[in-house]
Amino acid sequence: MAKPTLAVHKFSSCDGCQLALLNMGPDLLALAEQLEIKHFAEAGIVNESAPVDIALVEGSVVTAADETRIREVRANSRYLISMGACATSGGIQALKNLAEDPSAWVGQLYPQTEFIDSLDRSHALKAYVRVDFELWGCPVNSRQVVAAAGQLLQGVSPVDNREKLCLECKRAGQVCTLVTRGEPCMGPVTRAGCGALCPAFGRACYGCYGEAELSNGDALQRRLEGLGLAPERAAARFRLIHPDQQQQDPLQLSGGDHDPA
């Protein structure tokens, strides 16, 4: 019996999520025993146009060529999973969307703009194609990838964990970064899933796992201002990693979607 197939595609990003996959070690080998990897350029396997059952896609769309290519990836994939902050909400590249004239940014950075191929705005994948499931984080971790792929292989819709990081942090026995240490921590409005990594090292969470369910952003904004942040700087912390944040409907397994239109 043929194995289900997998492709890992990269768009505009730092490659951090692909490196997180490579760093999975034994978990990656176990995944490779269950799936046939058709395309994963960073691992040396190149066949970008191969039809696959599951496509993991890192990065956001920033060029016209990206827009064409993500539609091709969607057409060649039964399930498409966006992987990481850039793919799920635009990431750092989408900060230009907050400017009144994003096209002017290019001129501020490069003396010869005619050589720069960039759309005026940069968006997450779901702005262009249907995304079946989102893996949040900057970068994602191996537990997320293995769990989502395993659930899909079993014909089960992946679980979208949107509980707050504060719960994960408390279960790990960490000292509260926001209340006890007085740091501008985004944990109260951020999804769990990272293992409370930053608070474990005494650092405030900066929200890379995206918005948690039932978040009270107004209350956290007041708390951040109470710690001494100017209102505009406190507000900016909500948009630093996810400037193009939108929620989407959860995956309903129905045999996949070959036609994104």
pLDDT digits (tens, 9 = 90+) for 36-72: 999 999 999 999 999 999 999 999 999 999 999 999 9
pLDDT digits (tens, 9 = 90+) for 12-29: 999 999 999 999 888 888
pLDDT digits (tens, 9 = 90+) for 128-141: 999 999 999 999 98
* pLDDT confidence of residue 228: 95
* pLDDT confidence of residue 247: 47
* Residue 172 and residue 98 in contact, taking contact as beta carbons nearer than 8 Å: no
Which pTM was predicted? 0.86
* pLDDT confidence of residue 171: 94
* pLDDT confidence of residue 246: 58
What is the amino acid identity at position 188?
P
* pLDDT confidence of residue 131: 94
CA 20 – CA 15 distance, rounded (Å): 9
| 133-135 and 77-83 strand pairing | parallel
The residues of the chain scoring below 70 in pLDDT are 245-261
* pLDDT confidence of residue 31: 85
* Average pLDDT along the chain: 88
The answer to whether the bond into 260 is cis (omega within 30° of 0) is no
